[in-house]
Structure 1
Amino acid sequence: MEGSSNQDADSGRQLACVRCSKVAKLQCPKCLGLKLPRANASFCSQECFKESWIMHKPLHSQLELQNNASGNGVHDQYLQGWMYCLRKGQARSTQLPYFAWTGPLRPYPISPRRLVPENIQRPEWASSGRPQQEMVSEWQTSVEIKSAEQIARLRHACKVARDVLDAAARAIKPGVTTDKIDEVVHDATISAGAYPSPLNYHFFPKSCCTSVNEVVCHGIPDSRQLEEGDIVNVDVTIYLNGCHADLNETYFVGKVDQASETLVRTTYECLEKAIAIVKPGVRYREVGEVISRHASLAGLSVVKSYCGHGIGELFHCAPNIPHYSHNKAVGMMKAGQTFTIEPMINSGVWRDRMWPDGWTSVTADGKRSAQFEHTLLVTETGVEVLTARVPSSPDVFPWLNNS
């Protein structure tokens, strides 16, 4: 590895380590020799370079070929380090991958990794990409009853996460890229002294998920500009004081058609109706019955591939809470439990397919999907919505009265 300036020569911005998001101090010598973009060749240490070698090495031939291609707008993006994401975030490509796309949406190149200041407390996957302690935790099979101290920390993290999501909502308009939304989320998160939980979680490359139109969930922010009539879900999770706080909302981009407005409103109502039954003694499986009943009345379907989850000091843990009817979830709610409910509702069939990036889940028929999510605390008498909207939340849903 060769030492070099940790700034991009063109933009003057600090470069982040490809592996761990710390300030990059070294550059891949092969990339320097080929005069390839610094953004995808920056590392904080020899250790990170060695751990990233299997992922990084293929970029040399890909980018060298692209560097020799005739100039065009997309080529200019590659020169700045923007590339298509593959292999669940572990690979990049200069070419749009082949796929039997289910709808009109396509992936666009994604920007290089964003910097996280070294003073920010990081979850275990920030460097490794693997939440190993989470996966073997006892709380994957047992539901934790949180202490008063844990609840206080989580409550604070959830309030900050709400502010972060609200900042993203204010940025949404036609012409804005989902990468810009990710930048807003990233900057707001680190400004609050928190870490964006999705960043490098199982190698996810960005700080939030942005799911547009037919994307069910886990959309990767990229260089596509939002268009009038789109809908976009922004899913934010932050890690602050040892706790993860998770929420999402689906927004309108300009004026949308009636079908999209009905879809988004019904999805919002599905979550509200599910939250209304949360209290000690309620079985987890009842959540899916309530959601499915309301969605079906509107002629919509409920995604079965993803579910709500326990949350706190772990990003994902027990209990799993399916959103569809006739599910087999075992157990009941107890005071002190914290979990998310996050129904994904489709305009057409409930089935989904996975894009070649290994993250983006889209509807199997290409029709639109919407989602809403809150982090919840079961209390002695009912429920506290820890990520609830606040008076300062932007007035973006016409069915709500924020006055």
Structure 2
Amino acid sequence: MDTDSSTPTESGLSCARCGKPAYLQCPKCVELKLPQEGSTFCTQDCFKISWSSHKLVHPKSKLANVRSAHSEQSLDGWLYCLKNGQARTSKLPHFGWTGALRPCPISKRRLVPDGVEKPDWSIDGIPKTELNSDLQNIVEIKTPEQIELMRETCRIAREVLDAAACIIRPGITTDEIDEVVHQATIAAGGYPSPLNYHFFPKSCCTSVNEVICHGIPDARKLKDGDIVNVDVTVYYKGVHGDLNETFFVGEVDEASQQLVRCTYECLEKAISIVKPGVRYREVGEVISRHATMSGFSVVKSYCGHGIGELFHCTPNIPHYGRNKAVGIMKAGQTFTIEPMINAGVWRDRLWPDGWTAVTADGKRSAQFEHTLLVTETGVEVLTARVPSSPDVFPWLKLNHP
């Protein structure tokens, strides 16, 4: 620790350790612009002795500064993500963008009424129950009561996604999609599970073109020819229901249509093998076989997951072939299958926001997801499309004239 022009020299300051007159300030505190009180020391020795405890104020203060900036600059809509202290600013960071998409401003965090039951991360962003649960190691067999709650919640989640699908067209922003998801969720008495989960700032994920997953709704207007995935999870009566679909925006080129249809088929083929006694690893084999035969690749960084009273838990369900997932399916288990299929290479990159996963080569990606229940004889798709679901997929029209 060295003194400089910003180091206090007035004896009115006291050493944070021993209380003697202080003349030196912690350089990290200077960098973070922290108050001199509590960050000054009389000698290098006192500073060194105090370092193990004093350094703990730095990350807390850094996060506090980000929160403060978020509050002060919320009108410009750029600061949006507190995960690991990261934030989107009005100046784009130096980053090797892989495609044409760029981050845009987002709106203020949407509010949830007091009467709605909320998960434990709704206040501080940390899913404490989930992180400490035994269900991260043991696959739960749901009780009949839990299963009935899952059915009800997944039905609501399906209705919310269908509401979002109805407004997708050129000129709509992904933030407007998020508004529809948010309002439809709370109107049903639910909480949008992604909101503030590990500080995620919005109520759903919207992944456009080269974005694989976890895209953050923002002010960018959807363009004719885009594809957009909307990922919805609802928390209702203590359980979660999770699903997503990839939609066409206006007139979409043939290659993108083939990608989206193949991804839909990958999920359908994977669901068709779900029943007691099937190994989890088989899901990836089925998906990988169909995607590869169609000339596409399967993302390996993200997988399906157990779900219920926890948003994410065991089992993990990889979507790629030759995976090493351990275990077999049993009646009463609930989990998601959610293949992410790329037009080019399977590898992904993460934007500086810490959330947005994009294809490494900038080519397009599609995804579909359902929450499933393993039954005694097979599978029940808890988030299945219903007769009122919007008619947006051409291949379904061919099957149901």
Shorter-chain TM range is: 0.7 to 0.9
For 2:288 and 2:67, locate their aligned partners in 1 and report how far apart those are by CA, in whole Å: 44
Corresponding residue of 1:365: 361
CA deviations over 1:343-393 (Å, ceiling 9, x no partner): 000000000000011000000000000000000000000000000000000
Aligned pairs for 1:98-109 (under 5 A) are: 98-109=94-105
1:331 is paired with a residue of what secondary structure? coil
For 1:114 and 1:52, locate their aligned partners in 2 and report how far apart those are by CA, in whole Å: 21
CA deviations over 1:291-319 (Å, ceiling 9, x no partner): 00000011000000000000000000000
Deviation at 1:87, TM superposition (A): 5.1
Structure 1 runs of 4+ with >6 Å offset: none
Corresponding residue of 2:279: 283
CA RMSD of aligned residues (A): 1.8
For 2:84 and 2:294, locate their aligned partners in 1 and report how far apart those are by CA, in whole Å: 36
Deviation at 1:133, TM superposition (A): 1.2
Deviation at 1:260, TM superposition (A): 0.1
Aligned counterpart for 1:297 among listed residues 293, 297, 303:
293
Q: Give the paired residue count.
A: 339
2:218 is paired with a residue of what secondary structure? coil
1:399 is paired with a residue of what secondary structure? helix
Aligned pairs for 1:156-175 (under 5 A) are: 156-175=152-171
Aligned pairs for 1:55-94 (under 5 A) are: 55-58=66-69, 63=73, 80-86=75-81, 88=83, 90-92=85-87, 93-94=89-90
Corresponding residue of 1:29: none
For 2:76 and 2:333, locate their aligned partners in 1 and report how far apart those are by CA, in whole Å: 43
TM-score when normalising by structure 2: 0.82
In the alignment, is the contact (CA less than 8 A) between 1:166 and 1:393 conserved in 2?
A: yes
Deviation at 1:129, TM superposition (A): 0.3
Matched, 1:111 2:111: no
Matched, 1:314 2:310: yes
For 1:340 and 1:245, locate their aligned partners in 2 and report how far apart those are by CA, in whole Å: 9
What amino acid does structure 2 have at the position aligned with 1:85? Y
Matched, 1:237 2:233: yes
Aligned pairs for 1:28-47 (under 5 A) are: none
In the alignment, is the contact (CA less than 8 A) between 1:231 and 1:252 conserved in 2?
A: yes
Corresponding residue of 1:53: 64
TM-score when normalising by structure 1: 0.81
Matched, 1:327 2:319: no
For 1:87 and 1:183, locate their aligned partners in 2 and report how far apart those are by CA, in whole Å: 21
2:396 is paired with a residue of what secondary structure? coil
For 1:170 and 1:301, locate their aligned partners in 2 and report how far apart those are by CA, in whole Å: 29
In the alignment, is the contact (CA less than 8 A) between 1:238 and 1:246 conserved in 2?
A: yes
Question: Structure 2, unaligned stretches of length 5 or more?
Answer: 1-60
What amino acid does structure 2 have at the position aligned with 1:380? E
For 1:267 and 1:283, locate their aligned partners in 2 and report how far apart those are by CA, in whole Å: 21
> Which shows bigger deviation, 85-94 or 372-381?
85-94
Deviation at 1:52, TM superposition (A): 6.9
Aligned counterpart for 1:274 among listed residues 270, 274, 297:
270
Deviation at 1:246, TM superposition (A): 0.1
For 2:286 and 2:355, locate their aligned partners in 1 and report how far apart those are by CA, in whole Å: 28
Question: Structure 1, unaligned stretches of length 5 or more?
Answer: 1-49, 64-77
For 1:118 and 1:86, locate their aligned partners in 2 and report how far apart those are by CA, in whole Å: 23
Identical-residue share of aligned pairs (%): 70
Aligned pairs for 1:102-141 (under 5 A) are: 102-141=98-137
Deviation at 1:99, TM superposition (A): 1.1
